[in-house]
Structure 1
Amino acid sequence: MNPYLVPGMEGRPLAPLCPFQIDEHEDYYVPVDHCQQAFEEFQELIGDVAAQGGLVVTTGQRGCGKTSLINRCASWLSGQLDKAQIISLVDESSPSDPIEYRLRHVFSCVLDDVRSRQLLDADQLKGLEDRTDNLELGYRQLSSLLDPGTVLIILLPHSEDLTKEIAHYARFTRPRLVFFAESSYPDNVDRRWKDIAEACRVTPLLLRVGPLSEGDGWRFARARQERSELHPDAGVYRRVSEETMQRVTALPMSIGQLQNLLHGVYEEQRRDPPADDALELSYEEITDYFFRRSMDAGGQGSTL
């Protein structure tokens, strides 16, 4: 088997972990690139979202695991509440759509989910649909209409410049409404964070992830290898050593880049097993795969 294949993500090596959809994913998180620290910070600081609401923003470059972190936070928070409803809208809008369109589209999608889950009656929903021209009032009304024990955990769509949208959702935050957002532009978020915090009715949380730190590559590879050994169909495959992982991750790399690289190497070897019977995957085999893939992609591969 491929040790970097995660359940439910066949053919999608870069799909984020999502424990609120696949319970087993909770066991696949590895404490790398500050994600464990950020998760524990979230657990400590999120506060009483039923009474106050919340806004959580995760920042980090592409491939650093922002969406996986948000999904883990949302899953954990849902487990702490009696009647939490996770509404994932991460793929509901194109990042290049105008902000005003995206804001209205998210509100409409939230109402669709509220309707399908029968959280409000038809008359209440009709009143909310009439508020699309004033979303701050619409979210205020939605908050007041929800059952006191119900909390909506809303995962917002990706955006090219989320900082402007975050400022809007800071004003939309109300009791029983928790917004999760992510941005690949940490510096932009930092520059506007004071304004965002002042607009928000509760103290917003800023969670940061980043490139792999020293030792993270081996920590990740070791965790995946140990987990694969528990699988009944693990079979025989070449392990990767700590020394090799130190060489592979000597230059800055994200967890997404490493996952994609190792998944591809092992997938190729699974399809076309090497002729020799070596027990370890070599650094040269990994770099050979990387450069061949880069050439196939027109030289646009990630830096190794």
Structure 2
Amino acid sequence: MTNSDWANPYGVRKPYGSNGAGNGDGRDSGANGSATLSADHPLVPWKQPDHMHQWVDVDHSRDELDRFEEDWPHLDELLDSSSGHGRVVVVSGQPGMGKTSLIHRCIHEARRRISAAAPAAGNPLVLFAPTAGLDNDGRRISVDPDGRSFAPTRLINARIRREIAKRLLLHEFPEPRVQAIISEEDPFQAYSEMSDLLIQHNALLFVVIPHIRWNDAHLRAAFLRTCLSPAHPRIVLFVEVSHGAAETPRDVTAALAGSAAVTHLALRELDSEDIWRFSHSARAAGGGPHSLVEPDRSSLMAAHDEWKPSDVRELRKVFHSAANALRSAPHPWAIDADALRPHWESRRARRDALLREPILPRPGG
């Protein structure tokens, strides 16, 4: 077997380009198997349905997706300007736990429902604004121009609006109206004008706001309240919030408790079944090379107590690395605890890198 025949069963196909599932025009540029799959990448099933098979329910996100579907309003409620508010969906969990993937699965489901109901609602234009790009790097909107500290919340909100404005202009919304939204300093007023513009053009807007590594819970709560304030009709904000081991999902959204406009989706920690579930599901979904055999269930479940993987990203990278190491094995090998151990041990010292060093806050927030 040559390297060109290799298809790592734990690899992730990037959404675009030579390593991707297509270019957004329906052509599958990566289907010939020549692309090298990466160890990890934010999944984008809302845009590329082919990515749905790469999603593995090991972080209990199926339960949270069900919760989202149950809480999702009828389309006419989102479009009704008399209802008074749009929606804020807060997705919380530890770094690397799959929040970005869950958000995009929610958007995929929402777009499916909107498509089914669209004729009766006048076929609204659906817009999508990833304010930190598909890589979902919050630094681009949350770091001060000096590169060393948090930007003030006013500037963070302005940057988010500028990213939204780019999407509006791509769809030929009137430039003077869009520029007025950007220049408006009051976030509530800016989003109110944006909502009016969406109503006039029969459009519905999905906005993804990434985790921006708040190092102060009060500052984070204040920012979430600013997200709740502009929850106007036809605007749906998906806000990603990473929290540390010392916090609970309840701590994250305490400031928003009681709001009818908020849906909170919280990803739980991995348990002893998750290593096995990931190994089995990922391999079955992606197809495996002939040099690997069925993973050993008892060995993988026993590995949990020794390994204690912190998140889905770590699972992906360790399994991907172990499979690469076995690709040249002289005879079939199973992915078991012995095969994984060298790769999880080498990553233990680097786990803190997932949290990254917090950015120093500016005086006054």
Normalising by structure 2, what TM-score? 0.72
Question: How far apart are the structure 2 equivalents of 1:50 and 1:206?
Answer: 21
1:42 aligns with 2:105: no
Answer yes or no: is 1:300 the counterpart of 2:350: yes
Correspondence for 1:84 among 126, 139, 144: 126
Q: Which residue of 2 aligns with 1:196?
A: 256
Secondary structure at the aligned position of 1:183 is classed as strand
2:55 maps to what in 1? 29
In 2, Cα distance between equivalents of 1:12 and 1:116: 30
Residue in 2 that maps onto 1:284: 338
Q: CA deviation at 1:260?
A: 1.2
**Distance across 2 between alignment mates of 1:125 and 1:282:** 55
SS at 2:334's partner residue?
coil
Which residue, 298, 304, 307 being the options, matches 1:243?
A: 298
1:153 matched residue in structure 2 = 206
CA distance in 2, matches of 1:22, 1:85: 16
Percent of residue pairs identical: 19
Assess if the C-alpha contact under 8 Å between 2:9 and 2:282 holds in 1.
yes
Distance 1:14 1:209 in 2: 18
Find the aligned partners of 2:108 and 2:303 in 1 and give their Cα distance.
32
**154-163 or 244-253, which moves further after superposition?**
244-253
What amino acid maps onto 1:2 in structure 2? N
* Map 1:120-199 → 2, pairs under 5 A: 120-131=173-184, 133-147=185-199, 149-161=202-214, 162-185=220-243, 187=247, 190-191=250-251, 193-197=253-257
**Paired letter, 1:208:** A
Letter of the 2:72 counterpart = I
Paired letter, 1:242: R
Root-mean-square deviation (Å): 2.4
What is the alpha-carbon distance in structure 2 between the residues aligned to residue 160 and residue 53 of structure 1? 25
Structure 1 length normalisation: TM-score?
A: 0.85
Deviation at 1:17, TM superposition (A): 1.5
2:350 partner letter: Q
* Secondary structure of 1:172 counterpart: coil
**Residue 146 (structure 1) shift:** 1.1
Q: Aligned pair 1:71/2:104, yes or no?
A: yes
Change (3 A) 1:228 1:300: closer
> Is the contact between residue 65 and residue 106 of structure 2 (CA under 8 Å) also seen in structure 1?
yes
Shift of 1:215: 1.3
Tell me how far apart the structure 1 counterparts of residues 142 and 129 of structure 2 sit (CA, whole Å): 17
Q: Distance in 1 between matches of 2:227 and 2:249?
A: 14
For 2:194, give the aligned amino acid.
L
Residue ranges of structure 2 left out of the alignment (5+ in a row): 1-6, 16-35, 119-124, 144-149, 215-219, 353-365
How far apart are the structure 1 equivalents of 2:321 and 2:106? 28
Tell me how far 1:13 sits from its aligned partner. Answer: 2.0
- The aligned amino acid for 2:203 is T
Q: Which residue of 1 aligns with 2:10?
A: 4
What is the deviation of 1:114? 0.5
Structure 1 distance, partners of 2:67, 2:178, is 36
Residues 120-156 of structure 1 show CA distances to partners (whole Å, capped at 9, x for unaligned) of 212322332331x112101001101114631100001
Q: CA deviation at 1:224?
A: 1.4
Q: Closer, same or farther in 2 for the Cα pair 1:285/1:196, shift >3 Å?
A: same
Aligned length: 288
2:91 aligned partner, one-letter code: T
Contact 2:88 2:227 in 1 (8 A): yes
Q: Quick one: which of 247, 252, 267 aligns to 2:324?
A: 267
Of 157, 172, 187, the match for 1:103 = 157
| SS at 2:224 equivalent | helix
